[in-house]
Amino acid sequence: MTDSNRDTAPEAVVARVRRGDRRALARAISTVEENRAGGPELLAAFHEHAHNARRIGITGAPGAGKSTLSTELISVIRASGASVAVMAIDPSSPFTGGAILGDRIRMQDHIGDEGVYIRSLASRGHMGGMSASAPKVAVVLDGAGFDVVLMETVGVGQAEVEVLGEADTTLVVVTPGWGDSVQANKAGLLEIGDVFVVNKADRPGADDAVRDLEMMLDLGLTEDWRPPVVQTVALEPKGIDELWQALESHAVYLSDGELAGRRAARARRETRDAVRELLLAEILDRSGPAIAELLDEVSAGRLDPWSAASKIVARLD
């Protein structure tokens, strides 16, 4: 093996990243995000060092203040001596695929901190508030040695539930005037929230928002853990220490056995996703022209999508 090959071997890349090489980390993330050659091997190498980072998902509607809260949480986490990586999922243009990538701008205060790494990911039209590559990037950041990984979703509203499966703890951010408890249930917040935050709590209606959330929890709570409702004013900042204490309390709750179950479910899901991705790539590689013909048949109405899918899968034999 030549020296250049040794330098690009997955184990060598991981070693450089874990020593603090940020350029190597950025290249590794791009490799897995864009499904470049060598991505699966690189993921496997990072996976050997993963399973230590604490993943915290931050979700909520656009304008709720998720990025500002993330910025303040970074400060609290760093004050404790822990390192933190941020995955900020940004909306991408449906026409160009480009992302706004505005979260880096909001978090400029932490850019020079060697214990902080911020990466914006384009959603690329992926539903659920996440990016299709987010689970892979989370593995890289976990394997890189960060103590905490913050996963901030794109802010799409009611469809934003995918973060539940990727995070150990899910933080749901709402604002005064966000709606009543019926809307909360409609949005699925009860199912995904481990901690609730009423941000911008200096505005009228903050107490009403807290009351609605508490009422929602009273009516629908089915687990031992009762999600706390914390009021914050992230811009000042106020309530951030109380928010971190709530997140710490949930970490203690998870340590009694719930965390292992959540991570096991995540591992099974990631394996299924990997199988689907590899099978699709294999089918396209073997049967690209035939698939194009079948798609033409479906488009013309001469064949239904389900029969076409069966024919495509059958070609694997």
Count the residues in the chain: 317
Q: Are residues 168 and 295 in the same domain?
A: no
Residues 156-188: tens digit of each pLDDT? 444 445 566 789 999 999 999 876 555 555 556
Residue-wise pLDDT for 21-56, tens only, equals 999 999 999 999 888 889 999 999 999 999 899 999
CATH no. for residue 67? 3.40.50.300
The pLDDT assigned to 98 comes to 43
Residue 171: phi and psi, rounded to 5, are -105, 120
Residue 32 lies in a domain: yes
Looking at the fold, whether 243 and 280 belong to one and the same domain comes out as no
- Tens digit of pLDDT for each residue in 225-248? 999 999 999 999 999 999 999 999
Does any domain span residue 265? no
Q: At what angle do helices 259-299 and 305-314 cross, to 10 degrees?
A: 110
Contact assessment for residue 66 and residue 159, using Cβ atoms and an 8 Å cutoff? no
Asked whether residue 233 is assigned to any structural domain, the reply reads yes
Looking at per-residue confidence, does 222 or 194 come out higher? 194
- Does residue 93 fall inside a structural domain? yes
What are the pLDDT digits (tens) for 56-106? 999 888 888 998 999 999 999 999 999 999 998 876 433 334 444 555 555
In terms of domains, do 111 and 155 share one?
A: yes
pLDDT of residue 31: 94
Mean model confidence pLDDT for the chain: 83
Residue 26 and residue 142 in one domain = no
Range of the domain at 20: 1-49
> Would you say residue 273 has pLDDT above 90?
no
Q: How is residue 148 annotated by DSSP? A: E
Whole-model pTM: value is 0.82
Number of domains in the chain: 3
Distance in angstroms (rounded) separating the CA atoms of residues 55 and 267: 14
Q: Check if the beta carbon of residue 189 is closer than 8 Å to that of residue 209.
A: no
Answer whether residue 260 is part of any domain.
no
Cβ neighbours of residue 136 closer than 8 Å, sequence gap 6 or more:
32, 33, 39, 43
Domain identity same for 181 and 158: yes
Helical H segments across 193-231, by residue range: 206-220
Statement to judge: residues 241 and 274 lie in one domain? no
Any idea what the Cα angle at residue 315 is, between residues 311 and 317, rounded to 5°? 130
Tell me how far apart the alpha carbons of residues 41 and 177 are, in angstroms, rounded to a whole number: 48
Lowest mean pLDDT among 27-31, 107-111, 254-258: 107-111
Same domain, 192 and 84: yes
Is residue 177 domain-resident?
yes
Question: Does a cis peptide bond (omega within 30 degrees of 0) precede residue 237?
Answer: yes
Which is more confident, 213 or 242? Answer: 242
**One domain for residues 67 and 10:** no
Same domain, 173 and 289: no
Q: Which of 255, 284, 302 is the last residue of a domain?
A: 255
Residue 85 is assigned to a structural domain of this protein: yes
pLDDT band at 216 (very low <50, low <70, confident <90, very high): confident
Based on the domain organization, do 23 and 154 belong to the same domain?
no
In a shared domain, residues 237 and 224: yes
Phi-psi label, residue 174: left if phi above 0, alpha if psi -120 to 50, beta otherwise? beta
Q: Which residue has the tokens 């914390």?
A: 230
- Same-domain check for residues 19 and 158: no
